[in-house]
Structure 1
Amino acid sequence: MSRTTSRTALLAALGLIAATGATATAMGTGIAGAAAAGCKVDYQITNQWNTGFGANVIVTNLGDPVSAWTVGWSYTGNQQVTQGWNATITQSGAAVTATNMSYNGTLSTGGSTSFGFNGSYSGTNAVPATFTLNGVACTGTTEPTTPPTTPPTTPPTTPPPAGSKADNPYAGAKVYVNPEWSAKAAAEPGGTKVSNQPTGVWLDRIAAINGAGGGMGLRDHLDEALAQKGSGELVVQLVIYNLPGRDCAALASNGELGPTEIDRYKTEYIDPIAAILADPKYAGLRIVTTVEIDSLPNLVTNVSGRPTATANCDVMKANGNYIKGVGYALNKLGSIANVYNYVDAGHHGWLGWDDNFGASAELFKTAATAEGSTVSKVHGFIVNTANYSALKEDHFTIEDSVNGVSVRQSKWVDWNRYTDELSYAQAMRTKLVSLGFDTNLGMLIDTSRNGWGGTARPTGPGALTSVDTYVNGGRYDRRFNPGNWCNQSGAGLGERPQAAPAAGIDAYVWMKPPGESDGASKEIPNDEGKGFDRMCDPTYPGNIRNGNSMSGSLPDAPLAGKWFSAQFQELMKNAYPAL
């Protein structure tokens, strides 16, 4: 795989068009003779309607560490900030000032933080042209001690050479809005606030390739993507999800292929998908494939010798068909010039423990080099797909202790190494690169349902009476246990899809379309191979995988993948950032 365009250069491009609206990246340089100062600010309009908009601002400190920050900008129109989060935001006329909160004021060299807000406007809603950090204009570099004698040979806006892949496919690109999902979302009360967001297209059975039940098939989606693309770049997100013996540790998302049907997987599923994606008609699209959700980690955590073992996972480990299937998919799809493979890497509440983390990374490499594939066929990894783990826990860290007791000993953390998905994704990336994956490996984080907003969202840490009260009082993730995964009560929409939001992260994505069920809350006969899992039953008191906690699932849920209006309404109500 050729990766000649640097991630830094792509991030620096001005006038980016994000997945859901306008984005500007402003950079800053310090004053000669002062302590090294410099900054980068990404201002992203994440949602916009007739009289209002939502925005996300990412500030990166490129100079010396700071213990407090103030970001400033001025509007050219009549925009007014009406509500903010993760910063104290004030406005005087056109000038806006955002100051850190108590928990996010420290920025190391290269460190980033983000804040967001909602605003009103009329007429135009132009992105501000310039920003400052602590009074320093942001242009993206620190002041050099000696000016360069020659200009850079590759300007930041240079696209990747013909025939090579963009380092980050999301940078500078719109992302495909699935019209089928969009119509369902728009039909819900208030749903038009998010119905223009891009979501993944799930190819979860052979029939989905040509269109199951009268729905759109793969070619239909790609043709629609060409119409949405216009003259710019556009990403299409596909979920490759039909392994033999799929989801061996659960039942709700079991699939149509039996444990031994690896040949059918190759010839009836992967080969037809590859043939369509390789059609020259679609060569101008950036096609992101997220490969086989919830498969490989099961071969580490749910096999004999582990307390959560299942007979089905033992079968899949013994026959090797998860490894063969993933390797075959990566090889076939990754050989197509405009396809970007991202492999599923679970989530921190599954693989964050010492005995899971390294073993899973090693297994990912084994799969990436099976069936003729190589690590060069893997563009990145995705975490938290269709899950609920909080993006970032602000009120406690893994290094904290209460009365001499480590946060790791709390019942919630339970000796995990990570408290949230961002820290887990970045650590997993580092581990994978150390094993031989590309040094520019990118990560995706599914933020479709991990916002955990609403009235239950904590505004500070818990009481210091014990490590459990400290963690439980401050954590955003309100599940009974991080092992709970089905239609979670109280969950909310998370960060809106956006490109390059943090170091090593290619994008926040909504790979799981909000409003699509995780599984039925009672047994429902069907011809899709989907079973009834008690983790989707709100009356279920749990098992060893979720610490024998209540399932926390919503009642009256339909089969996995079917529209679940009550869940969609709950996600909108508890969205963070708020709608």
Structure 2
Amino acid sequence: MTLAAAQDSDTTNGTRTVNVAASGLASVAVTATEADDDTSSGTQSLVVTPTSVSVPEGSTATYSVRLSRQPTASVSVASAAASGGDADITVSAGSSLTFTTSNWNTAQTVRLAAAQDSDQTNGTRTINVSSSGLTSVAVAATEADDDGVTNPTHVDNPYAGADGYVNPDWSAKAAAEPGGSAVANISTGVWMDRIAAIAGSSSAMGMRAHLDEALEQDAANGSRPLTIQFVIYNLPNRDCSALASNGELKIAENGLNRYKTEYIDPIAAIMGESQYRGLRIVAIVEIDSLPNLVTNTGIAACAEAQRTGAYVEGVQYALNKLHAIPNVYNYVDAAHHGWLGWDSNFGPAAQLFASTARGTTAGMASVDGFILNTANYSALREPYFSASTTVNGQSVRQSDWLDWNFYADELSFAQAFRTRLISEGFSSNIGMLIDTSRNGWGGSARPSGPSTSTNVNEFVDQSRVDRRIHAGNWCNQSGAGLGERPRANPETGIDAYVWIKPPGESDGSSRLIDNDQGKGFDRMCDPTYEGNDRNGNSATGALPDAPISGAWFSAQFRQLLANAYPAL
């Protein structure tokens, strides 16, 4: 028997008794309760994100709207500026939205504009988001005034002549470790690895708090500019080939739209506020995203990213929004030599980066440079051999370690890849960054000279300073050490050595650990795992007892200190 509940406009979960009877049998009473879907007690409602928006003067900012549950008929939603407040702030697009039974959960964008004026006031205005029968939501819009503020010069190298921002959260953890004070004042990257990281929490500073702290550090360092580095890292199907760093957004669950409206838009709005224009803000754009489209489309999550265009479109959206801010510098992730160093990957990767940049509003100009080796362990230099070295008539490229790679270390790869990128149309002024936070490989295991062996495999294994079991190993590597300290213009074509991965923050958990950040368990972080075809079916070399990615890993930090090269 099927019961039906008619659509009504009340907010009551009504009840009715239905008697079930048959001749000669006792009747049975069935109590039916209507599950009401009208506005009351957390039923249908408007979901607006964010409810506080900074609108740069002379420009625009956005917020998103969706419904909390599926309606039974189309719902119209209006956004209108309240009377009073700063009349320069208006709704420029999306003032009237329609949600249906099929698109109710897809966030739609409302765009606000702040007209250029001559005052120096950060005006405010309330924007009311409303729909008949639903509780309205107020959005607080604040104009980021630019009068009296000089637009900064967009320099060629944001690291040159600048001091680096010291993250107080990381610095305190480093200083609390034995010997950690030696590096606690070094600049490290700030990772925005989920939507909640933008606002921060009671235990972690948000983006605005970091920028405010950067202003204080900039004020205290005299006339030198200050560079602060943010990792933009939340694409849907993020890190599609490595479970340990998977994220909160999924392509199949409206992830790309959420990435744009709930992640990139708020980040751009904060970075664009006028009080931060004196800072040099470096954006490290989406680690391991585009490189996965070159090599790992045999993995379902990567294939979906390629098929839907979500990675490319997401990166382009981020580049567009961030490049529009004069003091923001975009560096796109380009993996490392142990990933893209073969001809079959090298050229296609450069072509993909070029086509992605061409699809942005500013074209190639939206990219200031590229970053290599982020959160990885590839040696900066192999001092005792290069890819052109021969042993007893055999090229070291034939060794198991290089496996026909054209590059033996990160510096040679960076300089060669830069040349190829320029040939694809990027400016001759683009610079490369190399993350040297964990690629020092010092300590007692570091070779002091080249091997004397005439066997090519023995020669390479005994000569290489990178002591990993396999170049494909990437998680919490045993024996690693801090690398070169951050500095600008260390080599031709290299804008800076940087510490984007903060030493002591885990790459991933060595066992499954429940968490609310979408981070999974990857066997490459398990020291007992015997590997797969991507690491030559080798042991992982991962440290035991590791927490989830991004969490503090004291044992790893102490090892990095002990094995630092150059030594502390």
Question: What TM-score do you get using the length of structure 2 for normalisation?
Answer: 0.72
SS at match of 2:243: coil
Give the drift of 1:403.
1.4
- Report the residue type matching 2:179 in the other structure: G
Contact 2:152 / 2:278 at 8 angstroms: preserved in 1?
A: no
1:553 partnered with 2:520: no
Residue in 2 that maps onto 1:275? 269
Q: Work out which of the residue numbers 246, 257, 261 in structure 2 matches 1:263.
A: 257
Contact 2:360 / 2:366 at 8 angstroms: preserved in 1?
A: no
- Report the residue type matching 1:241 in the other structure: Y
Q: Distance in 2 between matches of 1:527 and 1:461?
A: 48
Give the drift of 1:162.
6.1
Residue in 2 that maps onto 1:352? 341
Give the drift of 1:375.
1.0
* 1:230-256 deviations in Å (ceiling 9; x for gaps): 232000000000000101111000000
Contact 1:324 / 1:371 at 8 angstroms: preserved in 2?
A: no
- Report the residue type matching 2:511 in the other structure: K
* 1:433-468 deviations in Å (ceiling 9; x for gaps): 111111100000000000000001101111232111
Alignment of 1:135-154 (within 5 A): none
Residue in 1 that maps onto 2:283? 289
Residue in 2 that maps onto 1:245? 237
Residue in 2 that maps onto 1:254? 246
Q: Distance in 1 between matches of 2:491 and 2:247?
A: 35
- Report the residue type matching 1:284 in the other structure: G
Q: Distance in 1 between matches of 2:240 and 2:233?
A: 13
Give the drift of 1:214.
3.7
Residue in 1 that maps onto 2:65? none
Runs of 4+ in 1 over 2 A off after TM superposition: 161-164, 369-373
1:369 partnered with 2:361: no
Question: What TM-score do you get using the length of structure 1 for normalisation?
Answer: 0.71
Q: Distance in 2 between matches of 1:371 and 1:431?
A: 20
- Report the residue type matching 2:242 in the other structure: A
1:455 partnered with 2:444: yes
Give the drift of 1:470.
1.1
Residue in 2 that maps onto 1:97? none
1:221 partnered with 2:201: no
Q: Work out which of the residue numbers 308, 315, 329 in structure 1 matches 2:304.
A: 315
1:387 partnered with 2:376: yes
Q: Distance in 2 between matches of 1:389 and 1:246?
A: 22
* 1:486-515 deviations in Å (ceiling 9; x for gaps): 000000000000111000000000000000
- Report the residue type matching 2:228 in the other structure: V
Contact 1:323 / 1:370 at 8 angstroms: preserved in 2?
A: no
Q: How many residues align?
A: 414
Residue in 2 that maps onto 1:236? 228
Give the drift of 1:212.
3.6
- Report the residue type matching 1:375 in the other structure: M
Residue in 2 that maps onto 1:24? none
1:325 partnered with 2:314: yes
SS at match of 1:444: strand
Contact 1:327 / 1:373 at 8 angstroms: preserved in 2?
A: no
1:414 partnered with 2:403: yes
Residue in 2 that maps onto 1:169? 158
Alignment of 1:69-84 (within 5 A): none
1:359 and 1:237, CA in 2 relative to 1: closer, same or farther beyond 3 A?
same
Q: Distance in 2 between matches of 1:527 and 1:278?
A: 30
Contact 1:170 / 1:507 at 8 angstroms: preserved in 2?
A: yes
Bigger Cα Rg: 2
Residue in 1 that maps onto 2:34? none
Q: Work out which of the residue numbers 525, 534, 540 in structure 2 matches 1:536.
A: 525
Q: Work out which of the residue numbers 430, 433, 437 in structure 2 matches 1:441.
A: 430
Q: Distance in 2 between matches of 1:181 and 1:162?
A: 31
Q: Distance in 2 between matches of 1:372 and 1:403?
A: 53
Structure possessing the higher relative contact order (Cα contacts under 8 Å, 6 or more residues apart): 1
Alignment of 1:492-507 (within 5 A): 492-507=481-496
Give the drift of 1:481.
0.6
Q: Distance in 2 between matches of 1:428 and 1:530?
A: 31
Q: Distance in 2 between matches of 1:212 and 1:526?
A: 16
- Report the residue type matching 1:187 in the other structure: A
Segments of 5+ residues of structure 1 without an aligned counterpart are: 1-160, 304-308
Residue in 1 that maps onto 2:195? 206
1:298 partnered with 2:287: no
1:577 partnered with 2:566: yes
SS at match of 2:509: coil
Residue in 2 that maps onto 1:334? 323
Q: Distance in 1 between matches of 2:259 and 2:426?
A: 26
Residue in 2 that maps onto 1:184? 173
* 1:260-317 deviations in Å (ceiling 9; x for gaps): 41110000000000000110000000000000001111101011xxxxx211111111
Q: Distance in 2 between matches of 1:205 and 1:446?
A: 22
Residue in 1 that maps onto 2:512? 523
- Report the residue type matching 1:173 in the other structure: A
Instruction: Report sequence identity in percent.
Output: 66
Q: CA RMSD in A?
A: 1.1
Give the drift of 1:369.
2.6
